[in-house]
Amino acid sequence: MSEKFHCRMYENELPKVDDVVMVNVRQIADMGAYVKLLEYGDREGMILLSELSRRRIRSVQKLIRVGRNEVVVVLRVDEEKGYIDLSKRRVTPEDIAKCEERFNKSKAVHSILRHVAEKHDIALKELYESIGWPLYKKFGHAYDAFKLAITDSTPVFEGMDISPEIMNELVSNIKRRMTPQPVKIRAQLDLRCTGIDGVNAIKSALTAGEAVSTESVPIKVTYLAAPFYVVTADALDKTTGFEVMELAINAIKDTLESHKWSRFKVEKEAKLVSETDDRDFAALMAQAEKENELVSGDEDEGDGVAASDDDM
């Protein structure tokens, strides 16, 4: 990559002692592992052999591999010589989780700024100096600023000297890459009620489930084939989607079990739906519809196991 479009992610040229950073392993030697600090313009650092693991080292290759990213903590920084000593064994699981989250956010910001720099033939460092680093100061992380800019960019970039061309390119990139992608969550339930009012009991349970819907997470219940029902949630945020789905399933369960002679079972746990899953489900629904049409003239057995679409 051209040096013009190469730059560290943060304003500080070097990390500080005790900082937790993301590195990529370049070479394994007798002294330890040579790495490049991915957030600091690929500056070279070293994980000493004694800092690889708390346990006795039998095989370095099992602990660290060339080409793999690792989370490490900074032990020493010699700014004059540029030496950076690092430790893998002193990193906690919490350190790893926080570092990975920060690095993924920083990487997303870096990718957007680099694209704008390349498109308009501007040095990437210039964009960091005028946009990236000021946003890190103002918002804690430039990624959080970019997220806000999806809906309203004016207050985010207020006071910054950015040309209209750069601003348009930047905002369009942010919206294209960072706008949340909708997800679909689906679960399958086995619902039965053999009481005298079984059909109405199931209808009430399904209505209770759909009533949990929110504006951002609508819940839909589809009749598959007795005694199976499919609950679907559409959401922009995966975590919120699963939370509302759980509330809907619990509402169905509680309502159904308030009736005698009822049975509730989660046939298939709630999970994210892929495009392939969606196509398979559409085919399954088409098949079920066809089979329902064939038996539509049959007498209702009256066992209260399921309610048809017409009943719901």
pLDDT tens sequence across 53-69: 766 666 666 778 899 99
- List phi, psi (to 5°) of 185: -120, 135
Average pLDDT over residues 8-24: 96
What is the predicted pLDDT for the residue at 220? Answer: 96
Q: What's the chain's average pLDDT?
A: 89
Half-sphere exposure of 210 (CA within 13 A, CB side): 12
pLDDT tens per residue, range 132-176:
999 999 999 999 999 999 999 999 999 999 999 999 999 999 999
Q: Quick check: 127 and 109 in contact, CB under 8 A?
A: no
Please determine whether the domains at 19-89 and 183-294 fall in the same fold group of CATH.
no
Give residue 159's Cα distance to chain centre: 32
pLDDT, mean of residues 13-37? 94
| CATH code for the structural domain at 183-294 | 3.30.70.1130
- 19-89 carries CATH number 3.20.20.70: no
Q: Delimit the domains of the chain by residue range.
A: 19-89, 95-178, 183-294
Confidence class for position 179, pLDDT limits 50, 70, 90: confident
Quickly name the fold that domain 95-178 has. DNA polymerase; domain 1 (1.10.150)
Task: Find, among 116, 181, 108, 111, the residue nearest to 141 by Cα.
Answer: 108
Output the pLDDT for position 50: 87
Q: How far apart, in whole angstroms, are the C-alpha atoms of residue 188 and residue 228?
A: 7
Residues 6+ apart with CB under 8 A from 286: none
pTM as predicted: 0.66
pLDDT recorded at residue 280: 77
Sheet of strand 262-272: strand arrangement: 219-225, 228-235, 183-193, 262-272
Cα–Cα distance, 26 to 45 (Å, whole number): 10
φ, ψ (nearest 5 deg) of residue 288: -65, -40
Average pLDDT, integer, range 272-297: 73
Contact residues for 298 (Cβ-Cβ < 8 A; gap 6+): none
Give residue-wise pLDDT tens across range 224-258: 888 999 999 999 889 999 999 999 999 999 999 99
